[in-house]
Amino acid sequence: MANVLFEQEYPAMTTPVALTIAGSDSSGGAGIQADLKTFAALGVYGASAITALTAQNTKGVTGIHAVPAAFVTAQIDAVFSDLDVAAVKIGMVAQAASIDAIAAALARWKPRHVVLDPVMVATSGDRLLAAEAVTALRAKLMPLASVITPNLPEAAALLEEPIARSEAEIESQGRRLLSLGCRAVLIKGGHGEGAESTDYLVASDTTLALAAPRVATRNTHGTGCSLSSAVAAGLAKGEDLATAVRNAKGWISAAIGSADRFSVGHGHGPIHHFHKFY
């Protein structure tokens, strides 16, 4: 009887699920940990497949241990065989073998939305993707992506070009990235200059500029991971891409703006994923 009453008071609801495929950050500010915090903060159930373990803190990365590609596959298959995954976020992939495994798994399971964050360098400046793996990422993962979310240096690296310095150059790079097979590009402006941080969503028929005041803080660890995860969370909840990006931009701006409430570590501290709650 108690169970019946409980079910009547709290009827079953469809729970949006997102899967993050990324590396682990031992300090909890970026990677898998940041992704799961973002999903939770935005009302989405998060699952994970870990591609690499990093020994990392707010000051830098001291070690990377890649997970065998076969075990990356096993994690992804375990999640998809049981959970109704509405969106996938891909972050740090570490090595070409993992890229092959992820591409094969996504081709097999065919998720509705894929957000690819081409993580190459950590906030601290440490390289997180082997140079030889960049070609594999371009060829095998980008064509599967609903949207890719490079920052300005990553967009330039993917195209093997100098970093864009103007809105026209950013849009031009976005268009060239589209030609590599992804359906949309969100170029993040956090590495730019000026009073505003502007992100550019470039799709086949439009370019959308999203500006927010630039926040003066050292606590930016995990910003890129969290923004791409926020986009994935919106897509998992049924939002269209433009809406998901707008909402993610507003949320990440508030998380950065609230970051100085924390005193964590001695380097680039984390953003405040749960700023709405405490």
Whether the pLDDT of residue 270 is over 90: the answer is yes
Range of the structural domain that residue 128 is part of: 15-261
- For the CA atoms of 70, 52, 156, 153, the dihedral, rounded to the nearest 10 degrees, stands at 170
Assign 197 a pLDDT band (cuts: 50, 70, 90).
confident
Whether the pLDDT of residue 215 is over 50: the answer is yes
Q: Look up the CATH number of the domain holding residue 91.
A: 3.40.1190.20
Catalytic residue among 149, 188, 189, 190: 188
Q: Residue 274 domain-assigned?
A: no
Count how many domains the chain has. 1
Please state the rounded mean pLDDT for residues 179-189. Answer: 95
**Torsion over CA: 49, 15, 45, 245 (sign):** positive
Query: pTM here?
Result: 0.92
Catalytic residue among 37, 58, 220, 234: 220
Length of the chain in residues, anyone?
278
149 close to 120: Cβ distance less than 8 angstroms: no
Catalytic residue among 225, 234, 249, 269: 225
- DSSP run (H or E) holding 23: strand 17-25
Q: Residue 8 domain-assigned?
A: no
Give the model's pLDDT for residue 89. 98
* Segment 131-171, tens digit of pLDDT: 778 899 999 999 999 999 999 999 998 999 999 989 999 99
Query: Residue 33 and residue 25: Cα distance in Å, rounded?
Result: 7
Q: Residue 41 domain-assigned?
A: yes
Catalytic residue among 23, 31, 174, 224: 224
Q: Residue 248 domain-assigned?
A: yes
Query: Residue 93 and residue 66: Cα distance in Å, rounded?
Result: 9
Q: Residue 266 domain-assigned?
A: no
Q: Residue 56 domain-assigned?
A: yes
Q: Is 224 annotated in the active site?
A: yes
Q: Is 62 annotated in the active site?
A: no
Please state the rounded mean pLDDT for residues 64-82. Answer: 97
Give the model's pLDDT for residue 6. 47
Q: Residue 142 domain-assigned?
A: yes
Q: Is 188 annotated in the active site?
A: yes
Catalytic residue among 174, 222, 234, 269: 222
Q: Residue 74 domain-assigned?
A: yes
Whether the pLDDT of residue 109 is over 70: the answer is yes
* Segment 18-71, tens digit of pLDDT: 999 999 999 999 999 999 999 999 999 999 999 999 999 999 999 999 999 999
